[in-house]
Amino acid sequence: MKTIVALISGSGTNMLAIHEATLKGVIANAALSCVMCNIPEAPGIDKAKSLGIPTKVINHKDFVTREEFDQALVNKVNNVNPDIIVLAGFMRILSPVFTSAFEGRIINIHPSLLPKYPGLKTHEQVIKNKDSHHGISIHFVNEELDGGPLIAQGFIKVGDIQNKATLQERIQKIEHDLYPKIIHAILAKEISYSSLGTIYSPSCQIYKNRIYYDF
């Protein structure tokens, strides 16, 4: 059985989608072994607890430096020794203390078509700039914010959507569909990490191109 650790800071809908995918076999032979969170009052942590998933809260405010917090996080993750570490709305920048400890084993999901719009308020920027398309990116994590080798992207046409809530809802639907599939492919060794770029097995070539979601 493969083990997954999810790091969250907020509502935890991606974490829930991943958990459900392990139960349904979309992510085969794997379990969400622990949900770790840096915000004690994050709603996602209560959701995880109510499902019986082990949780750990490590409040970043209890540490003087970013590196001290990251080392504490490294220690907690090492106790689980997961096959993969999944950032699911984890809103702390990770220093090399964390990223180099788990190089090639950490992935992130971000609500934009990277390299466009790293950071925050991606939906607002899409609306303000009247972009024709919007989407999500899944990538291996390195020390660069929302950087690291891209793994997959899903996108929609923005069309008439001028409202942040609707855009966010559609974007999250893509996230909940695509993130579990990519986690499965990585655990099945169909997708793997190299510092030079993501490596796809022949059966996973589909993820090399952006995937269009028709809604």
Q: How far is the CB of 110 from ligand GAR (least distance, A)?
A: 4
Tell whether residue 11 is a contact of ligand GAR (CB under 6 A): yes
Q: Name the active-site residue from 110, 123, 139, 184.
A: 110
Q: Is 134 a catalytic residue?
A: no
Q: Which of residues 153-182 bind ligand GAR (CB under 6 A)?
A: 172, 175
**Which one of 48-56, 65-73, 106-114, 205-213 is the stretch in contact with ligand GAR (CB under 6 A)?**
106-114
d(CA 53, CA 152): 27
Q: How far apart are CA 211 and CA 94, in angstroms?
A: 28
Q: Print the binding letters for residues 23-42 with ligand GAR: x by CB under 6 A, - otherwise.
A: --------------------
Among 4, 12, 36, 150, which residue interacts with ligand GAR (rule: CB under 6 A)?
12
164-172 long-range contacts, CB within 8 A, separation 24+:
164/123, 164/124, 164/127, 167/123, 167/126, 167/127, 167/134, 168/111, 168/123, 170/213, 170/215, 171/111, 171/123, 171/134, 171/135, 171/136, 172/13, 172/14, 172/111
Question: Considering beta carbons, is residue 94 or 204 the nearer one to ligand GAR?
Answer: 94
Q: Report d(CA 191, CA 178) in Å as an integer.
A: 14
Residues forming the active site: 110
| Interacting residues with ligand GAR (CB under 6 A) | 8, 10-14, 44, 88-89, 109-111, 146, 172, 175
